[in-house]
Copies of this chain bind each other. A is one copy, B any other.
Amino acid sequence: MKDNIPVKPGVSATVDAAITHIQRRYRMARIAFLLVAVVTVTGVVAFMTPASGHADGEAAPIFVTKIPPGYRDWRLISVAHEEGNLNSFAAVLGNDVAIKAYRDGKLPFPDGTIIAALHYHHVPSEENNKVFGRAQSFVPGPPTNVQFMVKDSTKYAATGGWGFAHFQDGKPGDPAFMKTCFPCHAQAKASDLVFTHYAP
């Protein structure tokens, strides 16, 4: 089909031929461009599609999407306080496997270890400050989120053997956010990706 290029009537056949040539070239170039584009897009899509559970570097990470039951009854590992943007309190609890591993002082943590970090706002306690007579007391405010690390060296091989989890109001964190867990925790290689130490 002819492209919509205005051609003056009466121009010589040579010009006609030249214009047709250009039109064909343009069409071919467009086809070529489209072909390259399709191949590229296909390649990108193939790259992004999560492969389930492959232990090679290309596999997409798997996250924990169900809250481990009974975590609120687990024993204490430690506490923490983050200032800055987080401004949060943490109570870090561990299931029996976790507590035993910490107390035995053995690394890496065995499969079955689950560590829970319960986060709350870090807020001043007006009632305590009245008793103390000065502003110095901070207590947990409303809960912000609960995060977990679940050890399964096979299932979570893509993220150092740990399945990361984040729940806010019972809902898991979105994938984009969850992807930030592992690169940060990977910097704690010496302690099997776990930042929290045991408080005696």
Contacts and interface: CB of A to CB of B under 8 A. Distances in A.
Interface residues of A, number: 40
Contacts of A86: 136
A24 interface: no
Interface in A83-142: 83-84, 86, 89-91, 93, 118, 120, 122, 127-128, 131-132, 134-140
A38 interface: no
A79 B140 contact: yes
Copies of the chain in the assembly:
2
A195 interface: yes
Contact of A73 (B75, B81, B131): B75
Given A75-B73, A91-B91, A184-B131, A80 B137 contact: yes
A27 interface: no
Contact of A82 (B73, B120, B137, B196): B137
A78 interface: yes
B75 A122 contact: no
Interface string A174-190: 00000000001001100
